[in-house]
């Protein structure tokens, strides 16, 4: 357990020390810097998001694991995300589609690796489910949905 905590802390330190410009994709580096400070002219439900920077977040309803938001793309009404969950049982990847406006989510697949997640066996989405903010899924939505 102690080595697990130490490895998580070192991962957090290494990720926080990285320069965001060097870790960004070429498309992100070529984007104008004024785009982040530009006032929104469209409604929040139609504002597209695209982020491939791995971000650590804590899920208070799953204290035995550490979560990483690995990919985020779409609009608040149709937001596709890739979640990496690390626990003592190992690493698990899951792909979700969130509707942050209506507070619903659909699981698009769960696997032990990204290669397994991309296989066709994981291409059957689950049914859309409503989430409560004070739940395990709601905590993920809080981390990924724009505020």
| pTM, to two decimals | 0.62
**Coil, strand or helix: which one is 64?**
coil
C-beta neighbour count of 144 within 10 angstroms = 24
For the chain, what's the residue count?
147
Contact 82, 92 (CB under 8 A): no
Per residue in 117-128, pLDDT tens? 888 656 667 899
Q: What percent of the chain has pLDDT over 90?
A: 48
28 against 69, higher pLDDT: 69
Per residue in 60-101, pLDDT tens? 999 999 999 988 999 999 999 999 999 999 999 999 999 999
CA distances to 12, 15, 43, 91 from 68, rounded to whole Å, are: 11, 11, 28, 11
């Amino acid at each position: 357990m102690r080595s697990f905590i130490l490895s998580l802390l070192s991962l957090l330190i290494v990720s926080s020390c990285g320069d965001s410009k060097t870790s960004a994709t070429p498309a992100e580096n070529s984007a104008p810097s004024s785009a982040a400070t530009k006032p929104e002219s469209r409604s929040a439900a139609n504002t597209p998001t695209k982020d491939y920077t791995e971000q650590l977040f804590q899920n208070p309803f799953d204290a035995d694991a550490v979560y990483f938001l690995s990919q985020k793309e779409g609009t608040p009404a149709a937001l596709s995300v890739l979640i990496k969950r690390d626990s003592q049982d190992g690493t698990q990847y899951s792909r979700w589609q969130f509707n942050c406006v209506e507070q619903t989510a659909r699981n698009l697949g769960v696997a032990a690796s990204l290669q397994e997640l991309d296989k066709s066996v994981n291409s059957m989405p689950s049914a859309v489910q409503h989430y409560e903010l004070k739940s395990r899924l709601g905590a993920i939505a809080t981390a990924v949905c724009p505020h």
